[in-house]
Amino acid sequence: MQIDFYFDFMSPFAYLAHGRVADLANNYGCDLNYVPIDIAQAKLAAGNTGPANRDVPVKLRYLMTDIERWAALDQLPVKFPSSLNSARMNIGVFYAIKEGKIAQYVSECFTKGWGEGADIGAEDTLSDIANAMGWSSQDFLAATENPAFRSLYQEANSAAHARGVFGVPTFMIGDEMWWGNDRLHFLESFLLKVGGTSR
């Protein structure tokens, strides 16, 4: 069984979910398919033309409190990144897949961005991640600008929109969908219902 995990590195709730969905996949013997998407594109494709959360101060204040509560519950550090320009980091997922280190890459990126508050769009941050992964930073930076990888990213976005993905984190098994880090218990209930056995 495969769990498709749609995420954008700019999302704090995807950060909060990534470790727990990986644990679920491992515990129930599922493959975890990491799919990076552009959350802004997904919202527009779904007809959501409202302002971004950061443009609604009263909502943003609440969201920051909510994020801190979830992080405390999950015993995760949390610090708002100094930028949310996630495109190159998202595209880097396809390089990580090619290198066979996707889970490690996703964890490293979320830790840098939401765990440490790094600028997720900065070349220095991307270089630090490449070095931590044991890659040539020059090769990795070039990959994030590579037209072939950019094309894969756009294909992932288009496929997600066609599948009805409107936000992140989203988890899908076949046609079943769960949206939000607070829906993982429903995902686990589904895994149990279809015959999964926790290890």
Task: Please give the helix or strand (H or E) that residue 5 lies within, else none.
Answer: strand 2-7
At CA 179, angle to CA 43 and CA 168, rounded to 5? 45
Q: Residue 138: helix, strand or coil by DSSP?
A: helix
Contact 120, 86 (CB under 8 A): yes
Catalytic residues: 11
In order of 29, 166, 189, 190, the CA distances from 198 in angstroms are: 8, 29, 11, 12
Q: Which of 172, 170, 176, 162 is nearest to 45 (CA)?
A: 162
